[in-house]
């Protein structure tokens, strides 16, 4: 029987797989609408950019 850590590793892999899928779908959506869509990428944490 797998330990709790084994279940956590399986869960982490599925989360990473889902994140990669979302990223790929998002990038595809941006590329397909780039004639009218402008995307600004901001850092995850940047208090100096907060107005």
24/13 Cα distance (integer angstroms): 16
Task: State CA 40 to chain mean position distance.
Answer: 15
49 vs 48, more confident: 48
39/32 Cα distance (integer angstroms): 13
- Considering the chain, what percentage of its residues have pLDDT values greater than 90? 10
10/42 Cα distance (integer angstroms): 30
What pLDDT is recorded for position 8?
61
Does the pTM surpass 0.75? The reply is: no
What pLDDT is recorded for position 51?
66
Question: Residue 12 above 70 pLDDT?
Answer: yes
Q: Domain residue spans in the chain?
A: 1-34
Average pLDDT over every residue of 1-25: 73
């Amino acid at each position: 029987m797998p330990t709790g850590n084994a279940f956590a590793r399986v869960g982490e892999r599925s989360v990473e797989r889902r994140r990669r899928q979302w990223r790929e779908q998002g990038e595809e959506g941006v590329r397909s609408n780039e004639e009218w869509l402008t995307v600004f990428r901001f850092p995850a944490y940047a208090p100096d950019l907060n107005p």
